[in-house]
Chain A
Amino acid sequence: MTTLTDDTLPVTPRAMRDEMIAFVLMALLLASVPFTGVYPFFVMQALCFALLACAFNLLIGYGGLLSFGHAMFLGTAGYCCAHALKVWALPPELGILVGIAAAFVLSLITGYISIRRQGIYFSMITLALSQLLYFIYLQAPFTHGEDGIQGIPQGRMFGVLDLSKPTVLYYVVLVGFLAGFLLIFRIINSPFGEVLKAIRENEPRAISLGYRTDQYKFLAFVLSGTLAGFAGALKVFVAQNASLTDVHWSMSGEVVLMTLVGGLGTIFGPVVGAFAIIAMQQYLAGFGQWVTVIQGAIFVICVLTFRRGVIGEIAHYFRRSL
């Protein structure tokens, strides 16, 4: 059986250099957004989803585990962060921490349950767990059901950064995204990341070399879920609401789609995929359910003809890892 990405290149100093150059270019490009007249709300939203997709990609691209329930981390962190800001009136930095902590605890529990099965079963279990949470949030009083938590105060971060100013908020979200991205980049290139890749390529061999593969996968799951929660907490400040759509299975599907379009197991792919899908939703917003049809068609086309994704194809063409 072929694995998800069949042409992983070894980590060499040159590859690392290429990736760092690409990272600096991306950071500069994103930092210049407020001066270009591009609608910052759109970019902020895309950045939150990009971080979510990167977190998801850590699990599928490097651990070989396809989670079909990553919306549960996004939504849980969003709800808890929103509740902390609005009801407990905590400052933004603590609100984000509450959201991350909630996603961390949730990923400990769901990881412990779902990691017991492999492959296709793992996907079904994560999907079922996120549906379980969806129904809980539908009925729990603190989420306000169908209405969601609305009118969330953005507040002042560290007492000085006024997040109700779009430019300030933009840079805070950008710094959050870049920090999360660098952390994932570091994880992938750490000895832990190398072991994960080994497990993805050939689990029995990794076991025979003495690695406790279940523990590695569990840790990858918790890291991925917690980072997804960070994305969910940031998204609260951008959208100023937390609602059931963030926990719905269709959101989990969108994350999968973003990563697939950009390239599973590539470093920059999820970012590109997230921007592409969010832009598409933005431009096609007037076409109602046809957006769903187009998303489905992109899934089909990607799986049948374009399995490496945009960045994966570019990297393959230039024989570089990106």
Chain B
Amino acid sequence: MQALYAQLLVGLINGSFYALLSLGLAVIFGMLNIINFAHGALYMMGAFVAYFLLNLGGINYWWALLLAPIIVGIFGMILERTMLQWLTGLDHLYGLLLTFGIALIVQGVFQNYFGSSGLPYAIPDQLKGGMNLGFMFLPIYRGWVVIFSLVVCIATWFLIEKTRLGAYLRAATENPTLVRAFGVNVPRMITLTYGLGVGLAALAGVLSAPINQVRPLMGADLIIVVFAVVVIGGMGSIMGSIITGFALGVIEGLTKYFYPEASNTVVFVLMVLVLLVKPTGLTGRAA
């Protein structure tokens, strides 16, 4: 049973990353109509920024948790201002191709300087060790990742669904021209939205640094799984992305325990099944 609980926890952690990344993809897609292929590369950048902050600036994990998403978010906003904004009105596919190119550039540059091996990032002192829950041993850092990601996801949901800013955002998704006519600066909002989505990816990167090490290709395979998660959940609903992300992480964890050979493929197989039964995705409308 110990092993089962341990795999469930790993599943929850992966689920947190799926949720944070697919949430960012959904938010960006809503405003920019772009599937951000660079999301995995920006997640990797988040982890690297945390690594640099610690090893070059002596800035600890807690500050990195705040600073890395801001730094990578600013980098994302520069990308949006200099490149992505010129794609408005073109076919969706160009956004995918452009961000794929950006991902190749970012990953290639990091691979040149850091190879493909992992760099260690220590767990902060306050979160070291573990506690005995009676039925299992819980490493504190892993528990922290799950709970903190959940809080961030819920906060993002609250921001978009329940605040005035979120209402503008949703309105601009529906009809940007009309919202502009009401005096809202829509282009700036688009830039900030991209920054927010990218920041969420970078945050996931910082959270994963102590668990998975910091590697230039850490986001490359992850982003493909997250695409499958997005296809399964649909991008129509924020809460849908969060729930699908966590649920798929748990299912993957269970697969690791019961049938480890399929743990790499289970999300893709589920995607196929969902497409056969309900082609629009679990929460999606017809696209």
> Interface of A with B (CB < 8 Å)?
1-4, 60, 66, 68, 113-114, 116-121, 123-125, 127-129, 131-132, 135-136, 138-139, 249, 253, 256, 260, 288-293, 295-300, 302-304, 307
Whole-angstrom CA separation of A135 from B221 in the bound complex: 11
Whole-angstrom CA separation of A37 from B231 in the bound complex: 50
Smallest CB separation, B233 vs chain A (Å)? 12
Which listed residue (B105, B221, B227, B271) contacts A297, Cβ 8 A?
Answer: B105
A289 B279 Cβ-Cβ under 8 A: no
B104 near A: Cβ within 8 Å?
Answer: yes
When distances are taken between beta carbons in the complex, the residues of chain A under 8 Å from B272 are 113, 129, 132
A113 B275 Cβ-Cβ under 8 A: yes
B86 near A: Cβ within 8 Å?
Answer: yes
Smallest CB separation, A288 vs chain B (Å)? 7
B94 A303 Cβ-Cβ under 8 A: yes
B228 A124 Cβ-Cβ under 8 A: yes
Supposing A118-B287, A132-B269, A290-B112 touch, asked if A124 and B35 sit within 8 A by C-beta, the answer is yes
Smallest CB separation, A110 vs chain B (Å)? 9
Q: Which of A135, A260, A289 has the most CB of B within 10 A?
A: A289
Q: How many A-B residue pairs have CB under 8 A?
A: 134
Interface size on B, residues (CB 8 A): 46
Say what secondary structure dominates the interface of chain B.
Answer: helix
Whole-angstrom CA separation of A285 from B227 in the bound complex: 31
B91 A4 Cβ-Cβ under 8 A: yes
For this complex, 20 residue pairs linking A to B, each with C-beta atoms less than 8 Å apart, are A2-B89, A4-B91, A114-B275, A120-B35, A128-B224, A128-B228, A129-B268, A131-B221, A131-B268, A132-B268, A132-B269, A135-B268, A292-B111, A296-B101, A296-B102, A296-B108, A302-B97, A303-B97, A303-B98, A307-B90
When distances are taken between beta carbons in the complex, the residues of chain B under 8 Å from A297 are 101, 105
Of chain A, the residue at the smallest CB distance from B113 is A289
Whole-angstrom CA separation of A123 from B224 in the bound complex: 11
Contact with A along B243-287 (1 / 0, CB 8 A): 000000000000000000100110011011001100110000001
When distances are taken between beta carbons in the complex, the residues of chain A under 8 Å from B275 are 113-114, 116-117, 125
Of chain A, the residue at the smallest CB distance from B273 is A113
Supposing A129-B268, A132-B265 touch, asked if A303 and B103 sit within 8 A by C-beta, the answer is no
Contact with A along B208-244 (1 / 0, CB 8 A): 0000000000001100110110110000000000000
Contact with A along B151-168 (1 / 0, CB 8 A): 000000000000000000
Q: Which of A113, A139, A260, A292 has the most CB of B within 10 A?
A: A292
Which listed residue (A1, A3, A128, A138) contacts B271, Cβ 8 A?
Answer: A128
Contact with A along B78-113 (1 / 0, CB 8 A): 000001001101111110111011111111110110
Closest 8 pairs between A and B when the two form their complex, measured CB to CB = A299-B101, A296-B104, A292-B108, A296-B105, A293-B108, A132-B268, A116-B279, A124-B227
Smallest CB separation, A134 vs chain B (Å)? 9
B87 A293 Cβ-Cβ under 8 A: no
